[in-house]
Amino acid sequence: MVNHTDTSVVTIERFIVEQERLYPAATGELSGIMYDLALASKMIANKVRLAGLVDILGAKGTENVQGEAQQKLDVIANDIIVKALDHGGRLCAMASEEEEAIIPIPARFRRGKYLLLFDPLDGSSNIDVNVPVGTIFSVLQKVTPGVDGTLEDMLQEGARQVAAGYVIYGASTMLVYTTGQGVHGFTLDPSIGEFLLSHPDMRIPEHGRYLSVNDSYEALWTDEVRALIRRYRGLDGKRAAMNVRYVGSLVADFHRNLLGGGLFAYPANSKSPNGKLRLLYECNPLAFIVEQAGGAATDGSRRILDIKPTELHQRSPYYVGSRADVAIATEMLAGG
């Protein structure tokens, strides 16, 4: 790990180069993906920031005041990421929450050895109430023969990710990522258009302050889940009560808990037996981040990163955050 004495002038580009130098065998392909993701994030940040002003909200297929075809912001974010990364020669396929099938690299572009999976704008329904939203991404390495990425290449356990991260579009725009060498946060300085290293080596506190859960589903949970949430809320006297903080935007809730310590829970319920969140491009990347920061993530019985996916858009129950609090979930749900 390079020792940064003055983090105020470490751009993400410099940080990526210095990280790459730690690995003589590195080809620079992964670094190139991170550059392109940083660029796409700046472009999306611009769109999100202006969303309330230029009438680009609303359902896809309608027309805006200029009579232009209306696009939802998450479709716009999706297209920004695809176009920023499809021609760099580092990827052999992509997958997005916005697209049912995997996204091939156009025939005119060279293929690389990596795959990018992403949720382009998670929580986008919160835009019009000015709640922070986010982009979540996961990078895998191709495992099948041939040059084009396949569904099989996408369906790898989260433990096989080579990089993961998120961008939070809030009071400031932050990009937080890991390549397995710790978690590092960069804050966008819009006056110069650069992401600057603001949070080197992020660590999540062992015990959580915050509990993030939508307990309007309480009647749909199992007795074990209800007992677990009561534990976190200090109602069974076995744990101090956690402060409930839930904004309904995964990246915003996760980011606050990463910084202050906490647990985010989206349990299975009788209407959604696998919960709501997507394994491949929501649960896995944030699980990689949180483990690298000293936390943990489970579906209630298994480590999230050990789950072998069977479908591209499959969902998973999700408990992620401070290690001691995730351990309580495992103990109370899996009889662990």
Residues in contact with ligand P6P by CB under 6 A are 122-123, 125, 214, 248-250, 276
Provide, rounded to whole angstroms, the least separation between the CB of residue 214 and ligand P6P: 3
CB 187 within 8 A of CB 11: no
- By beta-carbon proximity to ligand P6P, the closer residue of 186 and 281 is 281
- By beta-carbon proximity to ligand P6P, the closer residue of 123 and 158 is 123
Residue 204 CB contacts under 8 Å (≥ 6 apart), including other chains:
257, 258, 259, 261, 290, 293, 294, 295, 321, 322, 323
Provide, rounded to whole angstroms, the least separation between the CB of residue 51 and ligand P6P: 16
Provide, rounded to whole angstroms, the least separation between the CB of residue 246 and ligand P6P: 7
Provide, rounded to whole angstroms, the least separation between the CB of residue 248 and ligand P6P: 5
Provide, rounded to whole angstroms, the least separation between the CB of residue 276 and ligand P6P: 6
- By beta-carbon proximity to ligand P6P, the closer residue of 234 and 248 is 248
Provide, rounded to whole angstroms, the least separation between the CB of residue 142 and ligand P6P: 28
- By beta-carbon proximity to ligand P6P, the closer residue of 16 and 290 is 290
Q: What are phi and psi of 65, to 5 degrees?
A: -60, -25
Provide, rounded to whole angstroms, the least separation between the CB of residue 59 and ligand P6P: 16
Q: Hey, what are 87's tokens?
A: 């021609």
Provide, rounded to whole angstroms, the least separation between the CB of residue 217 and ligand P6P: 7
- By beta-carbon proximity to ligand P6P, the closer residue of 120 and 149 is 120
- By beta-carbon proximity to ligand P6P, the closer residue of 52 and 248 is 248
Cα separation of 326 and 300, whole Å?
Answer: 9
- By beta-carbon proximity to ligand P6P, the closer residue of 34 and 127 is 127
Q: If DSSP states are collapsed to H, E and C, what string results for the chain? A: CCCCCCHHHCEHHHHHHHHHHCCCCCCCHHHHHHHHHHHHHHHHHHHHHHCCCCCCCCCCCCECCCCCECCCHHHHHHHHHHHHHCCCCCEEEEEECCCCCCEECCCCCCCCCEEEEEEEEECHHHHHHCCCEEEEEEEEECCCCCCCCCHHHHCCCHHHCCEEEEEEECCCEEEEEECCCCEEEEEEECCCCEEEEEECCCCCCCCCCEEECCHHHHHHCCHHHHHHHHHHCCCCCCCCCCEECCCCCHHHHHHHHHHHCEEEEECCCCCCCCCCCEHHHHHHHHHHHHHHCCCEEECCCCEHHHCCCCCCCCECCEEEECHHHHHHHHHHHCCC
Provide, rounded to whole angstroms, the least separation between the CB of residue 254 and ligand P6P: 8
- By beta-carbon proximity to ligand P6P, the closer residue of 276 and 323 is 276
In the beta sheet, which residues pair with residue 262?
A: 210
Cα separation of 154 and 148, whole Å?
Answer: 12
- By beta-carbon proximity to ligand P6P, the closer residue of 135 and 330 is 135
